[in-house]
Chain A
């Protein structure tokens, strides 16, 4: 760690806040009139402090973050003051703003794969910022810039930075790419880093590493961090102070520990209550043996293998490798795993959207290895499917009523009046007013759309429902409602369900029996709260330990345990 830290201290004299936002207002011009994205936000960030801005989508947290770097689009106008080391970002000239960016404040983006340019080496991309600011103190040679880029990579814990500085982004894994993005942000030793959902696109185990890195930066270099996130676990893990935003306003601001222990505002309380907490409300609470085993077995996989064909001369990619499990009537089977573990592939194979290539997969008695659309079609009405993104799974040109009636029209062909009546009933069963049938999908909110999607999948009273990450595109408070609804409806209709999710806490809330997938293999399966409480497999242990819980005290303990686990 040989970087000169003098810069940081003379830029931000002790005691003086690094960032002051004073009565910030941002308004966007849209086709639907002006939108007041940020109404009145004031906050301060002190040196070496991590301030988290939390809120649901549309709360204005990202707009606030972008204002700090002057990254708002042309359609926006802002008023108030955003002071970084005495410069007001809103009113300074463009060239002054360019100087501030990178030197005083830097940004870490959500999606590391798109934040890096694929045709340049990472070293070049980090050096770009260093050389852009060369005018501050004369020219910087390419060699020196590269040296400093290497140094920045070393700082963020990329092994063997001298060699890797010449690598291209695709040669790094997702977590390492995010480290590179952080290295680029650090290259000029800015006093402040704005991290916009820095771990949302990453898996939990990788997320834990990135959070650790950010914490080290704060501890070792005194960098202040503005953390924008919707994940309360991440907040509990990293933040010193929390600012809760709702619809463009600051609802509550408090030190992290205080906020989680005794939230003052109603909204904060509701928000915290909606966050799923591992180990609470387990669906398999108190179960000693596997539930619902007396009914028929609906899905039976034996040594199931699904392989995607490789390119010419290469081996295919085994997305699912030798997996065996069963789903019985009335049972909710939870499938967890990180991205690329093959969980969605299994769900899609059961619905006949993917072909199986080996082993055996029996769905309602139909062997999917000899899949033919024509012979499988009669069984389709027995299977419902809920997709991840409710916005994309509805045809934007059809009304909700037409979409929900679609399965009825295909299989039972009822009259118009009968269909309307049935659609009304279905919408009411998912707690939507029947009048919503007249609306178009874009006129509903995310949660309402996902309920309508549930109604559509239940239209033919299926025996099996496959839910592929049904809540991952939703805000926490909405997610909580959809999950409750799902639970109620499952008990009421009594269908078997395959619930696929990357979120352990969510799976535990719904599933009686849980399977953990890792790189295409089912490494562990068992009763939900047993798997969550006392995992057996190494990977499951790591997965559960790296999940941040929304409670700073408990999370600090878990963090220690996690570190011990990795060390041991």
Chain B
């Protein structure tokens, strides 16, 4: 048997990671969008990790060795971005706020991922009454305004308490409840589609048990869109968190810094010309959401070969096409 043409060898794991593989195959404006998104999101994550080093003061610090902080001080001097009405340093609050945001995103998205994926797989594969009940529940949750739902859950869970983890978990839980139906819907739809695929049927014909089919054949194929949903939902999670904080269901300033809460407190300042207390947390929210959305949308576009832009063909004139291009398998010449 002659050696058949080979598709290029598998890339190392690093190049197959979601965002990195997308960066490699993007060109032009799409690449620009993705790079901006990655930079913004990277800044956000780095800030949260190094918050203790970056922030000049603690998030609830009101005084230092030289005495109490002035209140409502304009940006400059000791307080680069000014101070709030309560005497907090705005820069420190903004930097520490990223830590809260990251924690909430991770906890909420992780919880909704596990729940949504598990329920979606079971419901889609088995169907029947379980499926019908879950779909109705998911639809019912969709019918609620998300923020209202989040408020109700937040009250139920934390009962007004606002320790760091209590606040984080109540926010995360309320966001989870809002997001589970999304993951559930997507995974369920994929599962139903995959259930009719020949490779699932062939597993069935071989006598594989239902759990084996779900775990081995459907799970990996159904979860391809998750990186995309993760990034898009992460930005939505931040908005929900900020909304909760703005409405006063967030975390007390003594337990953690939270952008939405700071915005709420800045509301009264606007009429007296104190802009710095509101603008900086606001910019932090905008940039973080923008960054995550850009990453998500770019991944979405790049995943679709019809939307994805490519370099013009024939750019390197005279370079022969690699022999193993997948669209032209040379079968005819082989025994």
Contacts and interface: CB of A to CB of B under 8 A. Distances in A.
A352 B1 CA distance: 38
A33 B331 contact: no
A77 B312 contact: yes
Interface residues of A, number: 57
Most B CB within 10 A of own CB, among A267, A270, A393, A448 = A393
A385 B321 contact: no
Given A397-B221, A477-B332, A34 B205 contact: no
A485 B220 CA distance: 33
A388 B332 contact: no
Contacts of B312: 29, 77
B7 interface: yes
Contact of B198 (A380, A388, A443): A388
Contact of A475 (B197, B205, B331): B331
Given A77-B312, A247-B330, A31 B201 contact: no
Contacts of A270: 332
B321 to A, nearest CB: 5
A392 B207 contact: no
B329 A392 contact: no
A76 B205 contact: no
Nearest to A351: B205
Contact of A77 (B206, B217, B314, B327): B314
Nearest to B197: A392
Contact of A447 (B202, B206, B212, B331): B331
A292 B332 CA distance: 35
A397 B330 CA distance: 23
Interface in B1-41: 1, 4, 6-8, 25
B333 to A, nearest CB: 9
Contact of A406 (B203, B311, B314, B328): B203
B310 A30 contact: yes
Contacts of A442: 7, 326
B325 A35 contact: yes
Most B C-beta atoms less than 10 A away, residue of A34, A267, A448: A34
A380 B207 contact: yes
A56 interface: yes
Interface residues of B, number: 42
Interface in B203-237: 203-209, 212, 216-217, 220-221
B329 A445 contact: yes
Main SS at interface, chain A: mixed
Nearest to B219: A397
A410 B205 contact: no
Contacts of A29: 310-314
Contacts of B202: 385, 387, 393, 453, 456
B206 A380 contact: yes
Interface in B291-335: 310-314, 316, 319, 321-322, 324-332, 335
Given A32-B326, A433-B1, 15 more contacts: A27-B313, A29-B310, A34-B314, A34-B316, A35-B327, A37-B327, A75-B310, A383-B205, A389-B198, A406-B203, A407-B207, A431-B1, A446-B331, A448-B4, A477-B331
29 contacts: A30-B310, A31-B25, A33-B321, A33-B322, A35-B327, A58-B329, A76-B313, A77-B312, A77-B313, A270-B332, A352-B205, A353-B204, A389-B198, A392-B197, A393-B198, A393-B199, A393-B202, A394-B199, A395-B216, A395-B221, A396-B199, A407-B206, A407-B207, A410-B208, A443-B6, A446-B329, A446-B331, A448-B331, A478-B331
Interface of A: 27-37, 56, 58, 75-77, 246-247, 267, 270-271, 351-353, 377, 380-381, 383, 385, 387-389, 392-398, 406-407, 410-411, 431, 433, 442-443, 445-448, 453, 456, 475, 477-478, 481
**A-B complex: 3 closest residue pairs judged by Cβ atoms:** A380-B207, A29-B313, A393-B198
